[in-house]
Structure 1
Amino acid sequence: MLTVKDLVVNYGAIQAVKKVSFEIHTGEIVTLIGANGAGKSTILKTISGILHPVSGEIIYQDRPLKKVTAPKIVRAGISQVPEGRHIFPGLSVQENLQMGAFLRTDRTAISKTYDDVYHYFPVLKQRRHQDAATLSGGEQQMLAMGRALMAKPQLMLLDEPSMGLAPIFINEIFDIIKAINAAGTTVLLIEQNANKALAIADRGYVLASGQIKLSGTGTELLANTAVQKAYLGG
Protein backbone atom coordinates (compact mmCIF):
# COMPACT_ATOMS: atom_id res chain seq x y z
CA MET A 1 0.00 0.00 0.00
CA LEU A 2 2.72 2.50 1.01
CA THR A 3 6.44 2.42 0.29
CA VAL A 4 8.86 4.97 1.73
CA LYS A 5 12.31 4.75 0.16
CA ASP A 6 15.48 6.64 1.13
CA LEU A 7 13.46 9.52 2.57
CA VAL A 8 15.45 12.62 3.58
CA VAL A 9 13.70 15.55 5.29
CA ASN A 10 15.33 18.69 6.69
CA TYR A 11 14.21 21.23 9.29
CA GLY A 12 16.28 24.21 8.20
CA ALA A 13 19.90 23.12 8.48
CA ILE A 14 19.01 20.04 10.51
CA GLN A 15 18.57 16.72 8.76
CA ALA A 16 15.64 15.25 10.71
CA VAL A 17 15.12 12.13 8.58
CA LYS A 18 18.10 10.37 7.02
CA LYS A 19 17.41 7.94 4.18
CA VAL A 20 14.53 6.14 5.90
CA SER A 21 12.89 3.22 4.08
CA PHE A 22 9.90 1.10 5.13
CA GLU A 23 6.73 -0.49 3.77
CA ILE A 24 3.11 -0.80 4.88
CA HIS A 25 0.93 -3.54 3.44
CA THR A 26 -2.83 -3.31 3.11
CA GLY A 27 -4.62 -4.31 6.31
CA GLU A 28 -1.62 -3.96 8.63
CA ILE A 29 -0.95 -1.99 11.77
CA VAL A 30 2.63 -0.76 11.49
CA THR A 31 4.26 1.24 14.27
CA LEU A 32 7.26 3.56 14.38
CA ILE A 33 8.79 3.81 17.85
CA GLY A 34 11.66 5.90 19.12
CA ALA A 35 12.63 8.69 21.49
CA ASN A 36 11.55 12.31 21.10
CA GLY A 37 13.39 13.87 18.18
CA ALA A 38 13.91 10.58 16.37
CA GLY A 39 12.04 11.84 13.29
CA LYS A 40 8.74 9.98 13.72
CA SER A 41 6.34 12.92 13.43
CA THR A 42 8.40 14.39 10.60
CA ILE A 43 7.86 11.20 8.60
CA LEU A 44 4.08 11.35 9.14
CA LYS A 45 3.89 15.01 8.16
CA THR A 46 5.88 14.28 5.01
CA ILE A 47 3.60 11.41 4.00
CA SER A 48 0.63 13.75 4.55
CA GLY A 49 2.14 16.47 2.35
CA ILE A 50 2.55 18.95 5.19
CA LEU A 51 6.35 18.79 4.84
CA HIS A 52 8.32 18.26 1.66
CA PRO A 53 11.28 15.88 1.42
CA VAL A 54 14.72 16.84 0.19
CA SER A 55 15.00 13.49 -1.56
CA GLY A 56 13.61 9.98 -1.56
CA GLU A 57 10.29 8.49 -2.61
CA ILE A 58 6.84 8.03 -1.08
CA ILE A 59 4.70 5.68 -3.17
CA TYR A 60 1.04 5.16 -2.21
CA GLN A 61 -0.87 2.53 -4.19
CA ASP A 62 1.65 2.84 -7.04
CA ARG A 63 1.31 6.64 -7.08
CA PRO A 64 4.24 8.94 -6.18
CA LEU A 65 3.26 11.45 -3.49
CA LYS A 66 6.39 13.57 -3.39
CA LYS A 67 4.82 16.52 -5.27
CA VAL A 68 1.17 15.91 -4.39
CA THR A 69 -0.58 18.54 -2.24
CA ALA A 70 -2.01 17.70 1.19
CA PRO A 71 -5.69 18.00 0.12
CA LYS A 72 -5.12 15.62 -2.80
CA ILE A 73 -3.40 13.17 -0.46
CA VAL A 74 -6.49 13.20 1.77
CA ARG A 75 -8.68 12.64 -1.29
CA ALA A 76 -6.45 9.70 -2.25
CA GLY A 77 -7.30 7.99 1.04
CA ILE A 78 -4.76 9.06 3.67
CA SER A 79 -5.89 10.82 6.87
CA GLN A 80 -3.73 11.96 9.78
CA VAL A 81 -4.63 12.28 13.45
CA PRO A 82 -2.11 14.91 14.59
CA GLU A 83 -0.15 14.92 17.80
CA GLY A 84 -1.95 17.12 20.32
CA ARG A 85 -5.34 16.43 18.71
CA HIS A 86 -5.89 19.97 17.31
CA ILE A 87 -9.66 19.91 17.55
CA PHE A 88 -11.49 23.13 16.60
CA PRO A 89 -12.58 25.03 19.74
CA GLY A 90 -15.79 26.99 19.41
CA LEU A 91 -17.23 24.33 17.10
CA SER A 92 -19.43 21.52 18.35
CA VAL A 93 -18.42 17.88 18.24
CA GLN A 94 -20.69 17.41 15.21
CA GLU A 95 -19.16 20.41 13.45
CA ASN A 96 -15.64 19.10 14.10
CA LEU A 97 -16.65 15.82 12.49
CA GLN A 98 -18.12 17.71 9.53
CA MET A 99 -14.71 19.29 8.98
CA GLY A 100 -13.26 15.81 8.51
CA ALA A 101 -15.64 15.21 5.60
CA PHE A 102 -14.97 18.60 3.99
CA LEU A 103 -13.31 17.17 0.86
CA ARG A 104 -15.83 14.38 0.30
CA THR A 105 -18.28 14.56 -2.59
CA ASP A 106 -20.30 11.41 -1.76
CA ARG A 107 -22.76 13.33 0.42
CA THR A 108 -25.31 10.53 0.61
CA ALA A 109 -22.70 8.23 2.21
CA ILE A 110 -21.55 10.72 4.85
CA SER A 111 -24.44 9.90 7.20
CA LYS A 112 -23.28 6.27 7.21
CA THR A 113 -19.80 7.43 8.20
CA TYR A 114 -21.29 9.42 11.09
CA ASP A 115 -22.97 6.21 12.23
CA ASP A 116 -19.63 4.37 12.06
CA VAL A 117 -17.84 7.08 14.06
CA TYR A 118 -20.55 7.12 16.71
CA HIS A 119 -20.36 3.34 16.88
CA TYR A 120 -16.65 3.53 17.75
CA PHE A 121 -17.09 6.54 20.03
CA PRO A 122 -20.55 6.53 21.67
CA VAL A 123 -19.57 9.39 23.98
CA LEU A 124 -19.21 11.67 20.95
CA LYS A 125 -22.82 11.04 19.98
CA GLN A 126 -23.91 11.93 23.50
CA ARG A 127 -21.90 15.17 23.30
CA ARG A 128 -22.40 15.97 19.62
CA HIS A 129 -23.89 19.44 20.32
CA GLN A 130 -21.25 20.31 22.94
CA ASP A 131 -18.34 22.69 22.28
CA ALA A 132 -15.39 20.41 21.48
CA ALA A 133 -13.12 22.50 23.72
CA THR A 134 -15.09 21.35 26.79
CA LEU A 135 -14.35 17.67 26.21
CA SER A 136 -11.81 15.82 28.36
CA GLY A 137 -8.41 14.98 26.86
CA GLY A 138 -9.47 11.43 26.13
CA GLU A 139 -12.69 12.57 24.49
CA GLN A 140 -10.80 15.10 22.38
CA GLN A 141 -8.51 12.30 21.18
CA MET A 142 -11.57 10.28 20.22
CA LEU A 143 -12.91 13.30 18.36
CA ALA A 144 -9.63 13.75 16.48
CA MET A 145 -9.76 10.10 15.43
CA GLY A 146 -13.43 10.37 14.50
CA ARG A 147 -12.70 13.47 12.42
CA ALA A 148 -10.01 11.56 10.50
CA LEU A 149 -12.41 8.67 9.92
CA MET A 150 -14.95 11.08 8.39
CA ALA A 151 -12.61 11.36 5.40
CA LYS A 152 -13.13 7.61 4.89
CA PRO A 153 -9.40 6.83 4.76
CA GLN A 154 -7.81 3.66 3.52
CA LEU A 155 -4.66 4.54 5.50
CA MET A 156 -4.83 6.32 8.87
CA LEU A 157 -1.74 8.00 10.32
CA LEU A 158 -1.86 8.24 14.12
CA ASP A 159 0.62 10.55 15.86
CA GLU A 160 0.97 9.84 19.60
CA PRO A 161 -2.70 8.99 20.30
CA SER A 162 -2.09 8.15 23.98
CA MET A 163 -0.10 11.28 24.85
CA GLY A 164 -1.33 12.91 28.05
CA LEU A 165 -4.21 10.49 28.57
CA ALA A 166 -5.26 8.68 31.73
CA PRO A 167 -4.64 4.88 31.66
CA ILE A 168 -8.36 4.10 31.27
CA PHE A 169 -8.49 6.18 28.08
CA ILE A 170 -5.21 4.74 26.78
CA ASN A 171 -6.60 1.20 26.91
CA GLU A 172 -9.81 2.32 25.22
CA ILE A 173 -7.97 4.18 22.44
CA PHE A 174 -5.83 1.13 21.62
CA ASP A 175 -8.90 -1.13 21.59
CA ILE A 176 -10.54 1.26 19.13
CA ILE A 177 -7.42 1.34 16.92
CA LYS A 178 -7.62 -2.45 16.69
CA ALA A 179 -11.33 -2.29 15.86
CA ILE A 180 -10.80 0.34 13.15
CA ASN A 181 -8.07 -1.83 11.63
CA ALA A 182 -10.22 -4.96 11.82
CA ALA A 183 -12.92 -3.09 9.89
CA GLY A 184 -10.50 -2.54 6.99
CA THR A 185 -8.45 0.60 7.65
CA THR A 186 -4.67 0.23 7.45
CA VAL A 187 -2.86 2.03 10.29
CA LEU A 188 0.55 3.67 10.65
CA LEU A 189 1.02 4.39 14.34
CA ILE A 190 3.57 6.60 16.07
CA GLU A 191 3.54 6.09 19.81
CA GLN A 192 5.72 6.80 22.85
CA ASN A 193 4.07 3.89 24.67
CA ALA A 194 6.13 1.25 22.87
CA ASN A 195 4.63 -1.60 24.87
CA LYS A 196 1.10 -0.76 23.77
CA ALA A 197 2.08 -0.01 20.19
CA LEU A 198 4.09 -3.20 19.63
CA ALA A 199 1.41 -5.31 21.31
CA ILE A 200 -1.12 -4.43 18.59
CA ALA A 201 1.28 -3.98 15.64
CA ASP A 202 1.80 -6.51 12.89
CA ARG A 203 5.24 -4.98 12.29
CA GLY A 204 7.37 -2.22 13.73
CA TYR A 205 10.38 -0.04 13.05
CA VAL A 206 12.67 1.51 15.65
CA LEU A 207 13.97 4.99 14.82
CA ALA A 208 16.91 6.81 16.39
CA SER A 209 18.49 10.07 15.19
CA GLY A 210 16.43 10.06 12.01
CA GLN A 211 17.37 6.52 10.97
CA ILE A 212 15.77 3.10 11.24
CA LYS A 213 17.89 0.94 13.51
CA LEU A 214 15.70 -2.17 13.91
CA SER A 215 12.63 -3.72 12.33
CA GLY A 216 10.55 -6.83 12.84
CA THR A 217 7.15 -8.08 13.87
CA GLY A 218 5.57 -6.53 16.94
CA THR A 219 6.23 -9.75 18.85
CA GLU A 220 9.90 -9.87 17.77
CA LEU A 221 10.55 -6.28 18.83
CA LEU A 222 8.80 -6.77 22.17
CA ALA A 223 11.19 -9.65 22.83
CA ASN A 224 14.29 -7.81 21.60
CA THR A 225 16.70 -7.07 24.47
CA ALA A 226 17.90 -3.77 23.01
CA VAL A 227 14.31 -2.57 22.52
CA GLN A 228 13.38 -3.65 26.02
CA LYS A 229 16.26 -1.70 27.55
CA ALA A 230 15.73 1.44 25.47
CA TYR A 231 11.94 1.69 25.28
CA LEU A 232 10.19 -0.90 27.43
CA GLY A 233 11.79 -0.36 30.83
CA GLY A 234 13.55 -3.71 30.68
Structure 2
Amino acid sequence: MLKVEHLMVNYGAIKAVKDVSFEVHTGEVVTLIGANGAGKSTILKTISGIMRAKAGTVTYEDRVINMLSASRIVQLGISQVPEGRHVFEGLSVLENLQLGAFTQPRGFDVSTALDEVFAQFPVLAERRKQDAATLSGGEQQMLAMGRALMAKPKLLLLDEPSMGLSPIYIQKVFDIIKTIHAQGTTVLLIEQNATQALSIADRGYVLASGEVKMTGTGAELLANKQVQSTYLGG
Protein backbone atom coordinates (compact mmCIF):
# COMPACT_ATOMS: atom_id res chain seq x y z
CA MET A 1 0.00 0.00 0.00
CA LEU A 2 2.69 2.52 1.07
CA LYS A 3 6.35 2.42 0.17
CA VAL A 4 8.88 4.99 1.39
CA GLU A 5 12.24 4.75 -0.38
CA HIS A 6 15.49 6.54 0.50
CA LEU A 7 13.63 9.48 2.00
CA MET A 8 15.64 12.57 2.92
CA VAL A 9 14.06 15.62 4.54
CA ASN A 10 15.82 18.75 5.79
CA TYR A 11 14.90 21.58 8.13
CA GLY A 12 17.17 24.22 6.63
CA ALA A 13 20.68 22.90 7.15
CA ILE A 14 19.51 20.19 9.56
CA LYS A 15 19.12 16.70 8.10
CA ALA A 16 16.03 15.50 9.96
CA VAL A 17 15.55 12.35 7.86
CA LYS A 18 18.70 10.99 6.22
CA ASP A 19 17.89 7.85 4.22
CA VAL A 20 14.74 6.10 5.38
CA SER A 21 13.00 3.23 3.61
CA PHE A 22 10.05 1.19 4.85
CA GLU A 23 6.76 -0.32 3.71
CA VAL A 24 3.22 -0.58 5.02
CA HIS A 25 1.11 -3.40 3.58
CA THR A 26 -2.67 -3.29 3.30
CA GLY A 27 -4.33 -4.36 6.54
CA GLU A 28 -1.28 -3.90 8.77
CA VAL A 29 -0.51 -1.85 11.83
CA VAL A 30 3.06 -0.60 11.42
CA THR A 31 4.82 1.49 14.04
CA LEU A 32 7.86 3.75 13.93
CA ILE A 33 9.55 4.08 17.30
CA GLY A 34 12.49 6.15 18.42
CA ALA A 35 13.59 8.95 20.69
CA ASN A 36 12.59 12.59 20.22
CA GLY A 37 14.41 14.02 17.22
CA ALA A 38 14.63 10.67 15.41
CA GLY A 39 12.63 12.06 12.47
CA LYS A 40 9.37 10.20 13.05
CA SER A 41 6.94 13.13 12.84
CA THR A 42 8.83 14.59 9.88
CA ILE A 43 8.29 11.33 7.99
CA LEU A 44 4.54 11.44 8.62
CA LYS A 45 4.32 15.09 7.57
CA THR A 46 6.16 14.25 4.35
CA ILE A 47 3.85 11.33 3.57
CA SER A 48 0.78 13.54 4.09
CA GLY A 49 2.16 16.39 1.95
CA ILE A 50 2.74 18.92 4.73
CA MET A 51 6.51 18.83 4.11
CA ARG A 52 8.55 18.21 0.97
CA ALA A 53 11.33 15.67 0.67
CA LYS A 54 14.80 16.69 -0.44
CA ALA A 55 15.23 13.26 -2.02
CA GLY A 56 13.54 9.86 -2.18
CA THR A 57 10.02 8.79 -3.05
CA VAL A 58 6.73 8.10 -1.29
CA THR A 59 4.54 5.69 -3.26
CA TYR A 60 0.93 5.02 -2.30
CA GLU A 61 -1.06 2.36 -4.14
CA ASP A 62 1.54 2.35 -6.95
CA ARG A 63 1.40 6.14 -7.35
CA VAL A 64 4.22 8.51 -6.40
CA ILE A 65 2.64 11.17 -4.19
CA ASN A 66 5.67 13.29 -3.21
CA MET A 67 4.60 16.44 -5.00
CA LEU A 68 0.85 16.23 -4.47
CA SER A 69 -0.96 18.70 -2.22
CA ALA A 70 -2.02 17.64 1.26
CA SER A 71 -5.70 17.91 0.30
CA ARG A 72 -5.18 15.69 -2.75
CA ILE A 73 -3.40 13.09 -0.61
CA VAL A 74 -6.40 13.04 1.75
CA GLN A 75 -8.66 12.49 -1.26
CA LEU A 76 -6.54 9.48 -2.26
CA GLY A 77 -7.24 7.86 1.11
CA ILE A 78 -4.57 8.99 3.61
CA SER A 79 -5.58 10.89 6.76
CA GLN A 80 -3.30 12.09 9.55
CA VAL A 81 -4.05 12.65 13.22
CA PRO A 82 -1.41 15.26 14.12
CA GLU A 83 0.74 15.35 17.22
CA GLY A 84 -0.88 17.65 19.75
CA ARG A 85 -4.37 17.02 18.31
CA HIS A 86 -4.84 20.56 16.86
CA VAL A 87 -8.61 20.75 17.21
CA PHE A 88 -10.19 23.98 15.97
CA GLU A 89 -10.89 26.22 18.94
CA GLY A 90 -14.07 28.27 18.76
CA LEU A 91 -15.77 25.57 16.70
CA SER A 92 -18.03 22.91 18.14
CA VAL A 93 -17.25 19.22 18.21
CA LEU A 94 -19.74 18.75 15.38
CA GLU A 95 -18.14 21.49 13.26
CA ASN A 96 -14.68 20.01 13.81
CA LEU A 97 -15.93 16.65 12.59
CA GLN A 98 -17.66 18.16 9.58
CA LEU A 99 -14.38 19.81 8.55
CA GLY A 100 -12.85 16.34 8.40
CA ALA A 101 -15.07 15.60 5.40
CA PHE A 102 -14.24 18.75 3.42
CA THR A 103 -12.33 16.84 0.71
CA GLN A 104 -15.13 14.36 0.08
CA PRO A 105 -16.89 14.54 -3.31
CA ARG A 106 -20.32 16.04 -3.86
CA GLY A 107 -23.00 13.65 -2.68
CA PHE A 108 -20.91 12.24 0.19
CA ASP A 109 -23.21 11.20 3.05
CA VAL A 110 -21.87 13.31 5.92
CA SER A 111 -24.71 12.30 8.25
CA THR A 112 -23.89 8.60 7.97
CA ALA A 113 -20.18 9.31 8.49
CA LEU A 114 -21.03 11.34 11.61
CA ASP A 115 -23.21 8.53 12.94
CA GLU A 116 -20.32 6.09 12.51
CA VAL A 117 -17.91 8.40 14.34
CA PHE A 118 -20.39 8.98 17.16
CA ALA A 119 -20.87 5.22 17.48
CA GLN A 120 -17.08 4.86 17.79
CA PHE A 121 -16.75 7.80 20.19
CA PRO A 122 -19.97 8.18 22.23
CA VAL A 123 -18.48 11.01 24.29
CA LEU A 124 -18.31 13.14 21.14
CA ALA A 125 -22.01 12.62 20.53
CA GLU A 126 -22.72 13.83 24.06
CA ARG A 127 -20.58 16.93 23.49
CA ARG A 128 -21.41 17.64 19.85
CA LYS A 129 -22.42 21.26 20.56
CA GLN A 130 -19.53 21.96 22.93
CA ASP A 131 -16.54 24.14 21.96
CA ALA A 132 -13.73 21.72 21.08
CA ALA A 133 -11.28 23.77 23.16
CA THR A 134 -13.20 22.92 26.35
CA LEU A 135 -12.77 19.15 25.98
CA SER A 136 -10.27 17.25 28.10
CA GLY A 137 -7.02 16.13 26.48
CA GLY A 138 -8.32 12.61 25.99
CA GLU A 139 -11.57 13.85 24.49
CA GLN A 140 -9.66 16.15 22.13
CA GLN A 141 -7.59 13.17 21.00
CA MET A 142 -10.78 11.27 20.25
CA LEU A 143 -12.08 14.27 18.34
CA ALA A 144 -8.88 14.46 16.28
CA MET A 145 -9.17 10.77 15.47
CA GLY A 146 -12.86 11.10 14.63
CA ARG A 147 -12.13 14.08 12.40
CA ALA A 148 -9.56 12.03 10.47
CA LEU A 149 -12.02 9.14 10.10
CA MET A 150 -14.60 11.48 8.55
CA ALA A 151 -12.43 11.39 5.40
CA LYS A 152 -12.92 7.61 5.17
CA PRO A 153 -9.18 6.86 4.99
CA LYS A 154 -7.70 3.62 3.76
CA LEU A 155 -4.48 4.53 5.60
CA LEU A 156 -4.54 6.34 8.94
CA LEU A 157 -1.39 8.13 10.15
CA LEU A 158 -1.26 8.56 13.92
CA ASP A 159 1.36 10.89 15.40
CA GLU A 160 1.88 10.34 19.14
CA PRO A 161 -1.80 9.67 19.96
CA SER A 162 -1.12 8.96 23.65
CA MET A 163 1.04 12.03 24.33
CA GLY A 164 0.00 13.89 27.47
CA LEU A 165 -2.90 11.57 28.28
CA SER A 166 -3.73 9.85 31.56
CA PRO A 167 -3.18 6.07 31.73
CA ILE A 168 -6.94 5.45 31.43
CA TYR A 169 -7.17 7.49 28.22
CA ILE A 170 -3.98 5.92 26.85
CA GLN A 171 -5.60 2.49 27.12
CA LYS A 172 -8.80 3.84 25.55
CA VAL A 173 -6.88 5.29 22.62
CA PHE A 174 -5.06 2.03 21.94
CA ASP A 175 -8.29 0.07 22.21
CA ILE A 176 -9.81 2.43 19.62
CA ILE A 177 -6.81 1.98 17.31
CA LYS A 178 -7.30 -1.79 17.49
CA THR A 179 -10.99 -1.38 16.70
CA ILE A 180 -10.30 0.94 13.74
CA HIS A 181 -7.79 -1.58 12.42
CA ALA A 182 -10.21 -4.48 12.89
CA GLN A 183 -12.75 -2.56 10.81
CA GLY A 184 -10.35 -2.56 7.86
CA THR A 185 -8.23 0.57 8.12
CA THR A 186 -4.46 0.24 7.69
CA VAL A 187 -2.52 2.13 10.39
CA LEU A 188 0.92 3.76 10.49
CA LEU A 189 1.61 4.69 14.10
CA ILE A 190 4.26 6.91 15.67
CA GLU A 191 4.34 6.56 19.43
CA GLN A 192 6.66 7.32 22.35
CA ASN A 193 4.94 4.56 24.32
CA ALA A 194 6.90 1.89 22.49
CA THR A 195 5.58 -1.01 24.58
CA GLN A 196 1.96 -0.20 23.70
CA ALA A 197 2.79 0.49 20.07
CA LEU A 198 4.74 -2.72 19.53
CA SER A 199 2.11 -4.77 21.35
CA ILE A 200 -0.49 -3.94 18.67
CA ALA A 201 1.85 -3.67 15.66
CA ASP A 202 2.31 -6.30 12.98
CA ARG A 203 5.72 -4.82 12.22
CA GLY A 204 7.91 -2.03 13.55
CA TYR A 205 10.88 0.10 12.55
CA VAL A 206 13.31 1.60 15.05
CA LEU A 207 14.59 5.04 14.06
CA ALA A 208 17.57 6.95 15.43
CA SER A 209 19.17 10.14 14.11
CA GLY A 210 16.97 10.14 11.02
CA GLU A 211 17.75 6.56 9.95
CA VAL A 212 16.17 3.11 10.32
CA LYS A 213 18.38 1.11 12.68
CA MET A 214 16.30 -2.02 13.17
CA THR A 215 13.13 -3.68 11.92
CA GLY A 216 11.06 -6.74 12.80
CA THR A 217 7.64 -7.88 13.88
CA GLY A 218 6.12 -6.18 16.89
CA ALA A 219 6.76 -9.30 18.97
CA GLU A 220 10.39 -9.57 17.81
CA LEU A 221 11.15 -5.95 18.71
CA LEU A 222 9.41 -6.28 22.08
CA ALA A 223 11.67 -9.23 22.86
CA ASN A 224 14.86 -7.58 21.55
CA LYS A 225 17.19 -6.76 24.46
CA GLN A 226 18.60 -3.65 22.77
CA VAL A 227 15.10 -2.30 22.14
CA GLN A 228 14.12 -3.17 25.72
CA SER A 229 17.06 -1.32 27.24
CA THR A 230 16.80 1.75 24.99
CA TYR A 231 13.06 2.23 24.51
CA LEU A 232 11.13 -0.02 26.88
CA GLY A 233 12.83 0.82 30.17
CA GLY A 234 14.00 -2.74 30.66
TM over 0.5: yes
Matched, 1:91 2:94: no
The residue that corresponds to 2:58 in the other structure is 58
Distance in 1 separating the partners of 2:107 and 2:200? 33
Q: Secondary structure at the match of 2:109?
A: helix
Taking a change above 3 Å as real, the CA distance of residues 7 and 180 of structure 1, as seen in their structure-2 partners, is same
Q: Secondary structure at the match of 1:36?
A: coil
Q: Matched residue pairs, number?
A: 234
Q: Alpha-carbon deviation of 1:116?
A: 1.3
Q: What one-letter code is carried by the residue in structure 1 that aligns with 2:16?
A: A
Taking a change above 3 Å as real, the CA distance of residues 58 and 108 of structure 1, as seen in their structure-2 partners, is closer
The residue that corresponds to 1:110 in the other structure is 110
Q: What one-letter code is carried by the residue in structure 2 that aligns with 1:153?
A: P
1:1-234 correspondence to structure 2 within 5 Å? 1-234=1-234
Distance in 2 separating the partners of 1:108 and 1:32? 33
Q: What one-letter code is carried by the residue in structure 2 that aligns with 1:101?
A: A
Q: Secondary structure at the match of 2:95?
A: helix
What is the CA deviation profile of residues 51-109 of structure 1, one whole-angstrom value per residue up to 9, with x for unaligned ones? Answer: 00011010000000111111100000000000000000100000000010011125442
Distance in 1 separating the partners of 2:110 and 2:218? 34
Runs of 4+ in 1 over 3 A off after TM superposition: none
Distance in 1 separating the partners of 2:98 and 2:108? 14
Q: Secondary structure at the match of 1:220?
A: helix
Q: Secondary structure at the match of 1:144?
A: helix
Unaligned runs of 5+ in 1: none
Unaligned runs of 5+ in 2: none
Identical-pair percentage: 70
Q: TM-score, normalised by structure 2?
A: 0.99
Q: What one-letter code is carried by the residue in structure 1 that aligns with 2:185?
A: T
Q: Secondary structure at the match of 1:52?
A: coil
Distance in 2 separating the partners of 1:92 and 1:107? 23
Distance in 1 separating the partners of 2:4 and 2:87? 29
Distance in 1 separating the partners of 2:144 and 2:134? 14
Q: TM-score, normalised by structure 1?
A: 0.99
Give the RMSD, CA atoms, in angstroms. Answer: 0.7
